A and B are shown apart, each in its own frame.
Chain A
């Protein structure tokens, strides 16, 4: 009896000990994306069903063991129950689990379609990808489109452009709206994993895969690799920063500035050098 009790206790204290869904990010105990929240809901639904089944079957097992042990107590010479089975029971315990399982399968299809079927992507992603994320051994290289003359990001082109901006291990997105990235890999397979948002997609050599997600709250989130890619698989540590539209544009502007920095110090009175740089 000790071990089941210990296991129950461990499960009870699990969330407070941090042995549960990651909640070190800004959203606390909730998943950090709407899709993630739906995934968590599905997880909990399955957890309830399997817990009921688990308790039921283990208690039944314990009960028959207990009764069976008593049957061999001193003085009890009764033979075991000579039964080859029960047709009715077989029918019941085939049909009922089949219905439950089919329900679980069909109930989930919506969420999957939303995540992966392009026609079901949120309409905001139809504007195009905001960045191209290329995984390589052992880092994440991110290519953003440059800023246009109006200060807004240009469309991301499939091929690298002179205006493109690059970071390593630092993915910025706008918060509160679905964004889409194009996931690629330069060498072997990797996997784009945002644990707090519950997003994962393998990066396959030769494929450009659109991945969309929505960060619910501003903050810094973990990005890491989830497909064995060599000895440095564990150290592909990166961050995903979700921020407001203004901060996002500020970030791109600072990237532009450092990319275009040519070593010539800015003189306070001269406006023209800045304009020239922006026009490039």
Chain B
């Protein structure tokens, strides 16, 4: 792997020498500044704002699900006005659409784009000392492709059936045969097109990230001096590039089955809703293998960047080096590698060859090991630190704590015999919400105020940040912890009315409690949005390095201009040199010149 040739100097950015190098303060029109911008920072911010809005859409869909489970068949207030045809009531087919689209929006339009598209884009060049991504135009296209994706998922809503209703997993034959469900008509096809566009966007991004990280690191930035955020983005990009083509191919095959009369997934002789028997020749299980071959690495795509970012934030807020930097890198690589050989654990009861159950059980149980190592190292990072308990830190601590819960609950479902019982129950729902929301999303809620000063040159409000944190934390645990108990009680997933079954009737009060917590949690997100948009314009201004952190990004202006750095940065040390006893400050920028023995150190490079 070649590093940047030190003799080549990239053109100094034409960001001004002062700290107000606004990326958009050149005299361009709306089109050149925003739509056609190839600046990774602008694209990163565009991803961030888009995904935050999609978060609210996905959350609203979830509130619809929770409403039905708590107050079944009653008209939903506020949102009920959007579906007047049923008097504001959530019908059974609408319910299946809600669960499908909640998951689809959250996974494909929120979590994956916010981690890779927003934070990956914004941070990678800054943290490795590059002036932009390797392929800026490809980067711009990867954001553009989000909009057709949003349009396609949205178009599904307005198609017959009010949206795809086959679950985000979209198993054939429910998704393959148009007559199988009201939402299996054109809506499902729109859903598949949306999926394809999101896939292209991610693949373009992943190529960019891998190339940039391998080729464009600043002089002195060896691989093992990269912050863990960059390692995580790098490993995630590798996961994306290897796994996504499989999903895209599977999506094409399903569209082909639906529209071109092929039968990749359709066996013969199936009659649905009085149609003619299918011609057949295909296997429904094939979809499950192809889908989960991507979607299992996808869950690590949705976790690793947050892990990397939290590591950086924890080290900074503890004023301590990361405990076990190399083990952390190797653990992330192990999670990614093992992540490719565990997909069958989603299919233990599916009817696949039972011998595969054994092999997948072993690999799945082993993937808990690198995650455990990382948890221990995070605790080790906090151990003996001088902790700063601000919004960033609180969210990162919540990440670690909630990830412990989510990771441990995963062990139950890794055990095949136990999974026979808890598969497709709320136990699974609890597990993945603890890792996706409790871990990843809290990690994002910490990363936003941490890097907001770099993005906009202002600080977010601390009080609002803490209020948002505490309300979200309470609401989150109140909503999702009881789901473990619901799952053990045998409450299946995707049930519009579980109380039809006598053995589940007594779970109604618990579901009502969970819905109230969910409503609290949902509306608390408006605090974050308000904090974000208000602070963009009116937050207190800050300098280059408000957190006294070490990364290369903190030696650039806040916000950086085009080209990021006034001159090519040189990297002299690792990213976690906090509280070095031989150094006067408790942090040491990677770009600070090293000190010869006996000499006075040069003045600190970061001036305010």
- Say whether A and B bind each other: yes
- From known contacts A90-B324, A228-B171, infer whether A79 and B96 are also in contact, taking CB-CB under 8 Å: no
- From known contacts A54-B405, A222-B502, infer whether A46 and B349 are also in contact, taking CB-CB under 8 Å: no
Please, which residues of chain A bring their CB within 8 A of the CB of B323?
Answer: 83-86
Contact A202 B355 (CB under 8 A): no
Contact B501 A237 (CB under 8 A): yes
- Would you give the shortest CB distance from B221 to chain A, in whole angstroms? 18
Contact A21 B369 (CB under 8 A): no
- Would you give the shortest CB distance from B377 to chain A, in whole angstroms? 7
Q: Is B272 positioned at the interface, with any CB of A under 8 Å from its CB?
A: yes
- Would you give the shortest CB distance from B292 to chain A, in whole angstroms? 14
- Would you give the shortest CB distance from A53 to chain B, in whole angstroms? 6
- Would you give the shortest CB distance from A158 to chain B, in whole angstroms? 14
Please, which residues of chain A bring their CB within 8 A of the CB of B324?
Answer: 84-86, 89-90
Q: Is A277 positioned at the interface, with any CB of B under 8 Å from its CB?
A: no
- From known contacts A94-B373, A189-B173, infer whether A196 and B503 are also in contact, taking CB-CB under 8 Å: yes
Select B492's contact among A24, A81, A199, A224, beta carbons within 8 Å: A224
Contact B485 A14 (CB under 8 A): yes
Q: Which of A55-63, A147-155, A248-256 contacts B (4 or more CB under 8 A)?
A: A55-63
Please, which residues of chain B bring their CB within 8 A of the CB of A205?
Answer: 173, 266-267, 270, 284
Contact A39 B417 (CB under 8 A): yes
Contact B401 A61 (CB under 8 A): yes
Chain A interface: which size bin? 35 or more
Q: Is B19 positioned at the interface, with any CB of A under 8 Å from its CB?
A: no
- From known contacts A20-B485, A72-B386, infer whether A234 and B284 are also in contact, taking CB-CB under 8 Å: no
Cα separation A87 to B127 with both chains bound (whole Å):
27
Cα separation A85 to B574 with both chains bound (whole Å):
14
Contact B389 A79 (CB under 8 A): no
User: Who on chain A is nearest to B492 by CB?
Assistant: A226
Cα separation A54 to B388 with both chains bound (whole Å):
25
- Would you give the shortest CB distance from A24 to chain B, in whole angstroms? 5
Q: Which of B174-182, B525-533, B551-559 contacts A (4 or more CB under 8 A)?
A: B174-182
Contact B92 A84 (CB under 8 A): no
Chain B interface: which size bin? 35 or more
Cα separation A49 to B407 with both chains bound (whole Å):
13
Contact B385 A231 (CB under 8 A): no
User: Who on chain B is nearest to A233 by CB?
Assistant: B494
Contact B416 A186 (CB under 8 A): no
- From known contacts A84-B321, A191-B424, infer whether A230 and B181 are also in contact, taking CB-CB under 8 Å: yes
Q: Is A273 positioned at the interface, with any CB of B under 8 Å from its CB?
A: no
- Would you give the shortest CB distance from B317 to chain A, in whole angstroms? 9
Please, which residues of chain A bring their CB within 8 A of the CB of B319?
Answer: 79-80
User: Who on chain A is nearest to B574 by CB?
Assistant: A84
Chain B proximity mask over A85-116: 1 for CB below 8 Å, otherwise 0: 11001100110011001101110110111011
Interface residues of B in 478-502 (CB under 8 A from A): 481-482, 485-486, 488-490, 492-498, 500-502
Interface residues of B in 106-154 (CB under 8 A from A): none
Contact B382 A61 (CB under 8 A): yes
Please, which residues of chain B bring their CB within 8 A of the CB of A85?
Answer: 321-325, 327, 377, 380
Contact A24 B489 (CB under 8 A): no
Q: Is A261 positioned at the interface, with any CB of B under 8 Å from its CB?
A: no
- Would you give the shortest CB distance from A81 to chain B, in whole angstroms? 3
Interface residues of B in 351-377 (CB under 8 A from A): 351, 354-355, 357-358, 361-362, 365-366, 368-369, 372-373, 375-377
Cα separation A189 to B346 with both chains bound (whole Å):
15
Contact B181 A231 (CB under 8 A): yes
Cα separation A226 to B34 with both chains bound (whole Å):
47
Cα separation A90 to B330 with both chains bound (whole Å):
12
- From known contacts A50-B408, A79-B579, A209-B351, infer whether A187 and B384 are also in contact, taking CB-CB under 8 Å: no
Select A21's contact among B489, B493, B497, beta carbons within 8 Å: B489
Q: Is B440 positioned at the interface, with any CB of A under 8 Å from its CB?
A: no
Contact A188 B177 (CB under 8 A): yes
Select A43's contact among B95, B412, B581, beta carbons within 8 Å: B412
**9 A–B contacts from the bound complex (CB under 8 Å):** A20-B489, A42-B417, A43-B418, A64-B384, A69-B389, A115-B420, A231-B165, A233-B496, A237-B500
- Would you give the shortest CB distance from B202 to chain A, in whole angstroms? 25
Select A80's contact among B91, B414, B579, beta carbons within 8 Å: B579
Please, which residues of chain B bring their CB within 8 A of the CB of A126?
Answer: none
Contact A234 B92 (CB under 8 A): yes
Chain A proximity mask over B559-584: 1 for CB below 8 Å, otherwise 0: 00000000000000000101111000
Please, which residues of chain B bring their CB within 8 A of the CB of A201?
Answer: 349, 351
Cα separation A14 to B578 with both chains bound (whole Å):
46
Please, which residues of chain B bring their CB within 8 A of the CB of A78?
Answer: 386
Cα separation A50 to B397 with both chains bound (whole Å):
20
Please, which residues of chain B bring their CB within 8 A of the CB of A10?
Answer: 481-482, 485
Q: Is A235 positioned at the interface, with any CB of B under 8 Å from its CB?
A: yes
Please, which residues of chain A bring their CB within 8 A of the CB of B375?
Answer: 57
Contact A21 B488 (CB under 8 A): yes
Contact A206 B412 (CB under 8 A): no
Select A200's contact among B349, B412, B507, beta carbons within 8 Å: B349
Name the 9 nearest CB pairs between A and B, nearest first: A206-B267, A81-B384, A68-B387, A85-B324, A195-B490, A116-B354, A231-B93, A234-B495, A111-B417
